[in-house]
Structure 1
């Protein structure tokens, strides 16, 4: 093989490697959408939705609110696809474009893993774990390992540290209002499901999760 042909082949190999490297950079470091840039969102950020006036939100707030601000829903931001992974009552576990999610949930706060926690969490692996639940129905029974997911359960199961441990804490669940009464919403739901209310069983909710020390609020 002539020296000239060898130089051409070497140049082609170098060009191919450069293209692959550039493609890898493009995949691993996507450019945020204008909306994501405006909100300064990062890959794996959690979007906490504030309570609305729906009966569902009121029931959650009555049972879990401890601070002035009450959260009733959470979504996981995926920077690579400019989208939010969520488990919501009407559709179950779905992916929605960021713009659509925020249009449906206009009142929100953005939270992020604290740096000391983030260094032990593979965010992309967490996103992949959440994606595995796409298509599952919403978990109206609020119980574990039943092929269905509620919003904070999706976050809880997705975010593990590099040793496979949950980074959020599960706590005894409460469905009763501060005055000790059970909201009609929960009565109707569990009567329809013919399931016992999992009062006191370990689980999660957006308000407890928002107060967890593994998170910091960024917006």
Structure 2
């Protein structure tokens, strides 16, 4: 009898876990915007310039029933959602929903917009048509589909450019290659997108301090 009760408890626990997992998956939608704390070589400079550890962003897409993140990391590519989360610092992430985006009517257009942005990674962080970086991909894709880009554009001069990591990155990518930083160049940072009033938090994992 004891073994039967334990078996029943296990089955109910497994059933509850399955329901919970499905419910969590159902909270996600195509077009949701996901942020994590990148551990790439340039992330310290981005943190320094923007004032935030949330330094990388992508958009949720579905392929054959599985969740992926469309992201600009070299060429634009689709990364399995869990792999994207695992790459971030402490596996922390935040997923937001953009109120201007309707997945019921705009999913096809979003996929087309993402493909249109499939360009080499922009190490100069310029709003050009030749290359793209992570938050630029999200901004331009949403701009094309909804008529409004996610986040508020800034200019380079609005960022903190006097920190050691930023200075080193500017020297390596611009000065040493004969280029100059344009302080008036528009730029969109992940944290500026996260602060967009049209974004609503739908899911997150942030490690308790």
Q: When the two structures are superposed, what TM-score results if normalisation uses the length of structure 1?
A: 0.68
1:210 matched to 2:194: yes
Runs of 4+ in 1 over 6 A off after TM superposition: 178-181
Give the alignment partner of residue 130 of structure 2, picking from 133, 141, 147. 147
Listed one character per residue, the Cα deviations across residues 56-107 of structure 1 (whole Å, up to 9, x for unaligned) are: 1110011111xxx52111011102452111111xx33112222322222322
Asked if structure 2 preserves the Cα contact closer than 8 Å seen for 1:50 and 1:72, the reply is yes
Give the alignment partner of residue 49 of structure 2, picking from 43, 48, 63. 63
Give the alignment partner of residue 111 of structure 1, picking from 84, 92, 96. 96
- Structure 2 spans left out of the alignment, 5+ residues: 1-20, 204-209
Asked if structure 1 preserves the Cα contact closer than 8 Å seen for 2:97 and 2:200, the reply is yes
Which has the larger Rg?
Answer: 1
1:45 matched to 2:32: yes
Cα distance, 1:190–1:46 mapped onto 2, change above 3 Å: same
Q: What is the number of residues matched between the two proteins?
A: 177
Asked if structure 1 preserves the Cα contact closer than 8 Å seen for 2:113 and 2:144, the reply is no
TM-superposed CA distance for 1:137, in Å, is 1.0
SS at match of 2:55: strand
1:98-137 superposed matches below 5 A: 98-105=81-88, 106-114=91-99, 117-118=100-101, 122-134=106-118, 136-137=119-120
TM-superposed CA distance for 1:124, in Å, is 3.4
SS at match of 2:174: helix
Asked if structure 1 preserves the Cα contact closer than 8 Å seen for 2:55 and 2:190, the reply is yes
TM-superposed CA distance for 1:199, in Å, is 2.4
- Structure 1 spans left out of the alignment, 5+ residues: 1-33
Farther off after superposition, 176-185 or 152-161: 176-185
TM-superposed CA distance for 1:112, in Å, is 0.9
Asked if structure 1 preserves the Cα contact closer than 8 Å seen for 2:31 and 2:59, the reply is yes
Listed one character per residue, the Cα deviations across residues 117-168 of structure 1 (whole Å, up to 9, x for unaligned) are: 335982431232012223x211011112341100010011100376744354
Q: When the two structures are superposed, what TM-score results if normalisation uses the length of structure 2?
A: 0.71
Asked if structure 2 preserves the Cα contact closer than 8 Å seen for 1:138 and 1:149, the reply is yes
